[in-house]
Amino acid sequence: MAEITGTTWTCYDSNTMTQAEIYGRVLTELGEKDPRVVGVTADLANSTKIGVFGKAFPDRLFNVGIAEQNLFGVAAGLAKSGLIPFASTFAAFASMRAAEQVRTDICYQNLPVKIIATHAGVAFGQAGTTHHCLEDIAIMRAFPNMTVIVPADGIETANAVRASMDIPGPVYIRVGRGFEPKFHASEDYGFRVGKAQRFREGTDLTIIACGIAVLQAAEAAKLLAASDGLSIRVVNMHTIKPIDREEVLAAIRETRRILTVEEHSVIGGLGGAVADVIAESGKGCAFSKLGFNDEFSVVGYPEDLYSHYRLDANGIADAVRAIMGRDFEEDESWEDEV
Amino acid sequence: MALTNEEKAAFAQTARQLRLDIIDTTVWAGGAHLGGALSMVEMLVILYWKYLKIDPQRPDWDERDRLVVSKGHAGVGIAPALALRGYFPKEELKSFNHFMSPFGMHLDAAKVRGVDLSTGSLGHGLPMSVGLALGARLQKKDWKTFCILGDGECDEGSVWEAAMSAAHFRLDNLVVMVDRNGLMIDGRTEDVMGLEPFEDKWKAFGFLTRKVDGHDYDELSSAIDFALSKPGKPVAIIAETVKGKGVDFMEGQVKWHYGSVDSVLEAKAKASIEAGASDKGRNHG
């Protein structure tokens, strides 16, 4: 395993460690720097890799057993005692089994609990629908005080975990199972919570993506340039809340076509957040959301599911082509309505 | 240490005043969870006026003991107790339940001085208390966490998740007090969803237990002294109480879980409290 120096993550690190392992290592690093950092989990210390932190600080990792309501209540109490708890479990349980504890114990009281929700989307595809989670972004972004981050890969997870320390309130960081391919070459690309990363410039259409979809969107843009001669902008919207409104407005203004892509229901997630900005802007824009269409996902290995649900580069490219062929009302005057 | 007669007389006087203040607050609020507020008055008095290490002038004092009233609907009991204890003037309670008031029927810790955690949704207080107690121990702090649960609330599974973890982590800096008034909204706890053998449940979950008359200061005091003696396990004090205690026409009445009082009932309630006569036996489930 790569030697972690504390500040810089390299391509090598992310190739040799899973997303979740990187998270565990970053948390350990934070724990060394700040004695207030503690971990809490519910019998998933190993699966969520928070166990890495527990090995370094056995007295600072609390495993409450298979009891997610208690997990988040305990995390709230730990935070209220002056600590900064990182609570880790599967996304399905964090966002649904314990939704009310997250809302009432943590968000309502604006406590600095950092939730690392793993196995989100269909990352644990073979486990079946009980362990898939396609609703959590919608749920979490509805809670006042909550910041919602969906990192594109392990390196961005490292950045997000570190950045969460500077946010005084609760943070929800949504990651996969840990075997997702890397997107970023290194940690130094100017990650800032609430500020989208414009990964690729383009003028015909903007793909706004989060999580595993960012890499696929970038691949799709390359493919579309080569095969269709299209100029596609790619935006990594890693922070769903607060959403980077300026970046969405720029996409409306400059490309007039937007496609959102996410490993989540098309209801209430990234697509919903972007749709809000578009609708409030009062500007015409061809718009489509690619994700799970209000349906329960089927069983399968994640790669098979990503292609089945058209979240791979080919699926995204097809969705882009569909929008390119669509009419929408041209409106040359941007300033009149905003 | 045994309570002196002077202490007990002072507690009784404070309890009487608190009950009167609860009635006043109910009038101002337009209605309140009277039954469960009145049943826990002696617990609040002995905690706020004897056991809790607190300073009303410094509600955020780091070394203070924490009290989590998990039965958050008893806000109409807690807020007047905090006022009487000196956290804020009783006058402020006149806004209770009204537009933009800091006081609603379930108290908001961000708005009410002296409230450590916001409660209201049942089954949330004990998990948060376990977190507080773990946090105190990790940070080598001496302060204690007290958690008052309602008995009906113990239908919630999260209470038992938390109980299991309190015992597992051997949190003897956590004191659980259950207001066992035997009634809930829809009737007797044993009719709606049986809790008995209640004390045995706590024992089976790894707690040391004390069953006391929740209106008797000597019994409460000796149980709390025991809980604070670092017995190596968390302690659950099952405080058997009478719902609506102190107001004769509310005592043991399911319908007074929540209610409002007009001027006639207000006068009757206050007369009953002043008379202090009501001394029906404790609830026996």
Alpha-carbon distance of B273 to B119, in angstroms, equals 28
Q: Could you give the ipTM of this predicted complex?
A: 0.93
HSE at residue A78, side-chain half, CA atoms within 13 A, is 27
Using CB atoms within 10 Å of the CB of residue A337, give its burial: 0 to 12 exposed, 13 to 18 middle, 19+ buried.
exposed
CA angle B166, B172, B176 (to 5 degrees): 65
Query: Is residue A51 within 8 Å of residue A118, measured between CB atoms?
Result: no
Q: Could you give the C-alpha distances from B192 to A16, B109, B187, in angstroms and in order?
A: 57, 31, 6
* Enclosing H/E stretch for A227: helix A213-228
Going from the C-alpha of A315 to that of each of A151, A202, B91, the distances in angstroms are 21, 19, 65
What span, in angstroms and rounded, lies between the C-alpha atoms of B69 and B146? 8
- pLDDT number for residue A6: 38
Q: Of A40, A70, A109, which to mutate for an interface test with B (greatest number of B Cβ within 10 Å)?
A: A70
Its CATH class, for the domain covering A11-174, is alpha beta
| Domain assignment of residue B139, yes or no | yes
- Decide if B48 contacts B81 (C-beta within 8 A): yes
pLDDT reading at B114 higher than 70: yes
pLDDT at A50: 86
pLDDT-above-90 percentage for chain B: 96
Q: How far is CA B186 from the centre of its chain?
A: 21
A and B: number of Cβ contacts within 8 A? 104
Query: With 0-12 CB in 10 A as exposed, 13-18 as middle and 19+ as buried, what is A42?
Result: buried
Angle CA A229–A234–A164, to nearest 5:
170
A197-324 shares the fold of A11-174: yes
The overall pTM is greater than 0.90: yes
User: Rounded to whole angstroms, how far apart are CA atoms A278 and A287?
Assistant: 9
- Is B34 within 8 Å of B76 (Cβ atoms)? yes
> CATH number, domain at B46?
3.40.50.970
If phi > 0 it is left, if psi is from -120 to 50 it is alpha, else beta; for residue A21 that is alpha
**B127: chain A residues, CB-CB within 8 Å:** 69-70, 72-74, 76-77, 101, 105
CATH of A197-324 given 1.10.260.40, 3.40.50.920, 3.40.50.1000, 3.30.43.10: 3.40.50.920
Q: Collect all residues of chain A within an 8 Å Cβ-Cβ radius of residue B165.
A: 64-65, 67, 70, 74
> For residue B172, is it within any domain?
yes
CA distance linking residue B92 with residue B25, whole number of Å? 10
pLDDT per residue of chain A (338 residues) written in tens, 0 to 9:
333 333 344 444 555 566 667 788 899 999 999 999 999 999 988 877 888 899 999 999 999 999 999 999 999 999 999 999 999 999 999 999 999 999 999 999 999 999 999 999 999 999 999 999 999 999 999 999 999 999 999 999 999 999 999 999 999 999 998 878 889 998 899 999 999 999 999 999 999 999 999 999 999 999 999 999 999 999 999 999 999 999 999 999 999 999 999 999 999 999 999 999 999 999 889 999 999 999 999 999 999 999 999 999 999 999 999 999 886 666 666 665 54
Number of H helices and E strands in chain B, helices first, is 10, 7
Residue B205 is part of which domain span?
Answer: 5-275
- Residue of chain A minimizing CA distance to B61: A81
CB A86 within 8 A of CB A31: no
CA atoms within 13 A on the CB side of A328: 18
Cβ neighbours of B139 in A, within 8 Å:
81-83
Q: Please report, for chain A, the start and end positions of each structural domain, with discontinuous segments joined by +.
A: 11-174, 197-324
> What pLDDT is recorded for position A57?
96
* Amino acid A3: pLDDT: 39
Identity of the residue in A64, A81, A110 whose CB atom sits nearest the CB atom of B165: A64
Two tokens, residue B186: 């829809």
**Burial per residue of A301-331, b for 16 or more beta-carbon CB atoms within 10 angstroms, e otherwise:** ebeebbeebbbbbebbbebbeebbeeeeeee
Q: DSSP readout, B107-152?
A: --TTTSTT--S---STT-HHHHHHHHHHHHHHTT----EEEEEESG
**Extended strands (E) in A119-218:** 147-149, 171-174, 197-200, 205-209
Contact criterion met (CB below 8 Å) for A183 and A153: yes
Q: Determine the Cα–Cα distance for residues B134 and B126; give it in Å rounded to an integer.
A: 12
Measured over the CA atoms of residue A8, residue A11, residue A14 and residue A16, the dihedral's sign is: negative
Collect all residues of chain A within an 8 Å Cβ-Cβ radius of residue B121. Answer: 100, 104
Q: Which tens digits make up the pLDDT trace of B39-83?
A: 999 999 999 999 999 999 999 999 999 999 999 999 999 999 999
Min distance A175 CA to chain B CA atoms (Å): 25
- Of B167, B168, B149, nearest to B159 by C-alpha is B149
Domain annotation covers residue B127: yes
User: What integer is the mean pLDDT of B269-274?
Assistant: 97
Indicate which of B126, B128, B153 best probes the interface with A, i.e. most A CBs within 10 Å of its own CB.
B128
- Above 80 in pLDDT, residue B124? yes
Strands B66-69 and A239-241: unpaired
With an 8 Å Cβ cutoff, the interface of chain B facing chain A consists of 62, 66, 109-110, 116-118, 120-121, 123-124, 126-136, 138-139, 141, 145, 157-158, 161-162, 164-165, 168-169
Does residue B281 fall inside a structural domain? no
| Joined tokens for residue A84 | 């900064």
Q: Which helix (H) or strand (E) holds B160?
A: helix B157-168
Q: At what angle do helices B263-275 and B5-29 cross, to 10 degrees?
A: 180
d(CA B163, CA B167): 6
Looking at the structure of chain B, the number of domains it has is 1
Q: What is the pLDDT of residue A131?
A: 95
What pLDDT does A179 receive?
79
Which is nearest to B251 in space by CA: B24, B78, B34, B8?
B34
Rounded CA-CA distance B255/A232 in Å is 66
Cβ-nearest to A67 among B132, B141, B161: B161
B131 contacts on A by Cβ (under 8 Å): 73-81, 85
- Taking the CA of residue B105 and the nearest CA in chain A, the distance in Å comes to 15
Give the pairing of strands A114-118 and A171-174.
Answer: parallel
Residue B271 confidence (pLDDT): 97
